[in-house]
Amino acid sequence: MSATQPPSLYEVGPGASVVIHGTVAPGFEEVRETFHRNFVERNELGAACAVYHRGRKVVDLWGGWKDVHTREPWEEDTCALVFSTTKGMAAITAAVAHARGWLDFEAPVATYWPEFAQAGKSRITVRQLLAHQGGLAAIDEPLDAKKLADLDGLARILARQAPEWEPGTRHGYHSFSIGWYLGELLRRVDPQHRTLGRFFREEVAAPLGLEFHIGLPADVPASRLARLQALPKLEVLRRNQLPTGMVLAFLWPGSLTTRSLGNPRLPLLSGLDSPEYRPLELPASGGIGQARAIARAYSAMATGGTELGLGPDTLRALTEPPVLPTRGTRDLVLKLKTAFSLGYTRPCPGLDFGFGPRAFGTSGAGGSLGFAAPDAQVGFGYVMNRMGGTILNDLRARALREALQRCIARLPTSDSSGAAA
């Protein structure tokens, strides 16, 4: 079968149709079939999926509507907001800093950022901070776009924040805050004191040829962006796709869950996909880019990291078993068992990635997903614009990665061709 396939027309919804574009390498056809079924069976609107295997692109698919209201198609260069899938891309900057000897994961954050030591945070290590164990999931001072644009002012706010628990004993998803803390830490250790968005652009995106932005440049027109279709909060609750404990926590304005997810205050999470917030560097939630960029970045990590200058010590740190909190793995924000390490989600009951214990990545609100699987040498990326209501493990992304697992399992052991799409 040829690696290049003609577009196929499928019906999606009453009176609507979608053209599936793109290519798959021989042996990976099931991923394309599953991508199609997501539109037919799982209410997909517009999406893209890409996979690299052994350093070569073997899946590059896109289709559906970029904007359901105007019926503009999702195109090859369409970009989308990926929410927390951004966390994994941003965490590459910490890995690069570690490889260059600028950052010691076991050192206290205050070693690099003295003001951070305020309010009982002097002993929090970089590892604990990046594993959501620092107790800093919620920021007490109200934030908005203006405050988030002032990185010096934001750093002072972050430094004043007191932990919610004894660091290292618990963990809770730092929905927004982990990106702001990582951004300031990187500014401190980088000899040029670059922002995380600039560092990512110059040291990660440029060498790998990625179209992925942490802080959308003014020269990327809005016409290239997919328009999100968000579920109203009450609809998410009605569908009961969230953990019961998390739903109950949402009903209490003072809960850690509400405080973590509700600052900055937005009517809908999709409010981040607006002209006011897109240009801001939001390293935990505001990345805008393409599925193939996510897959390409994770491919570099899954095949040894040499393209980014990562050495064996850094790769070992990324793939070794995570150092878990001493009092259990129940997430105090998400209300389910999770595992985190060095900015990434690690295999856990809610998201195992399907490729062994050394895999790492992040998923985003609504369904996007990116991960590296070093044992299979796989980099995976999936983005979409119709937001689902699950946590960590969206049905569409799961179907795609399970199809990919089956494709990999069927490949001859000696096969290393992985013809480029």
Confidence at residue 68, expressed as pLDDT on a 0 to 100 scale? 86
Which of 8-22, 139-153, 240-254, 285-299 has the lowest average pLDDT?
8-22
Query: Three-class SS string for the chain?
Result: CCCECCCEEEECCCCCEEEEEEEECCCCHHHHHHHHHHHHHCCCCEEEEEEEECCEEEEEEEEEEEECCCCEECCCCCEEECCCHHHHHHHHHHHHHHHCCCCCCCCEHHHCCHHHHHHHCCCCEHHHHHCCCCCCCCCCCCCCHHHHHCHHHHHHHHHHCCCCCCECCECCCCCCHHHHHHHHHHHHHCCCCCCHHHHHHHHHHHHHCCCEECCCCCCCCHHHECCCECCCHHHHHHHCCCCHHHHHHHCCCCCHHHHHHCCCCCCCHHHHCCCCCCCCCCCCCCCEECHHHHHHHHHHHHCCCHHHCCCHHHHHHHHCCCCCCCCCCECCCCCCECCEECCEECCECCECCCCCCCCEEEECCCCCEEEEECCCCEEEEEEECECCCCCCCCHHHHHHHHHHHHHHHHCCCCCCCCCCC
Structure confidence at residue 278 (pLDDT): 97
285 or 19, greater pLDDT:
285
Calculate what percentage of the chain has a pLDDT beyond 90. 82
Q: Which CATH architecture does the domain made up of 80-377 adopt?
A: 3-Layer(aba) Sandwich (3.40)
Check: CB of residue 339 under 8 Å from CB of residue 345: yes
Question: In the prediction, which pLDDT does 368 show?
Answer: 97
Confidence check: pLDDT of 355 > 90: yes
Is 231's pLDDT higher than 80? no
**Can you give the pLDDT at residue 270?**
78
pLDDT score, position 236? 55
Mean pLDDT check: name the lowest of 38-47, 169-178, 267-276.
Answer: 267-276
Check whether 345 has a pLDDT greater than 50.
yes
Give pLDDT, residue 234: 56
Query: Residue 240: what pLDDT?
Result: 53
Label residue 238 by pLDDT band (50, 70, 90).
low
Q: What is the pLDDT of residues 91-110, one digit of tens each?
A: 999 999 999 999 999 999 99
Q: What is the mean pLDDT of the chain?
A: 91
Residue 5 has pLDDT above 50, yes or no: no
* Two structure tokens written together for 97: 């800093």
Compute the distance between CA of residue 214 and CA of residue 181 in angstroms, rounded to an integer: 15
The whole-number pLDDT of residue 11 equals 38
- pLDDT at residue 4, as a whole number: 39
Question: pLDDT higher for 418 or 250?
Answer: 250
Confidence of residue 6 (pLDDT cuts 50, 70, 90): very low
pLDDT bin (cut points 50, 70, 90) of residue 184 is very high
pLDDT per residue as tens digits for the range 367-420: 999 999 999 999 999 999 999 878 888 999 999 999 999 999 999 875 544 333
* Cβ neighbours of 307 (radius 10 Å): 16
Ranges of each domain in the chain: 80-377
pTM of the predicted structure, to 2 decimals: 0.93
* pLDDT-based confidence at residue 226 (cuts at 50, 70, 90): very high
Q: Is the pLDDT of residue 330 over 80?
A: yes
- State yes or no: pLDDT of 79 exceeds 50: yes
Do 268 and 233 meet the contact criterion of CB atoms below 8 Å apart?
yes
For residue 350, name the pLDDT band (cuts at 50, 70, 90).
confident
pLDDT value, residue 391: 80
The token pair that represents 146 in the structure block:
């203006």
Instruction: Provide the pLDDT for residue 15.
Output: 38
CA atoms within 13 A on the CB side of 23: 16
Q: What number is the average pLDDT over the span 148-154?
A: 98
pLDDT at position 249 is 84
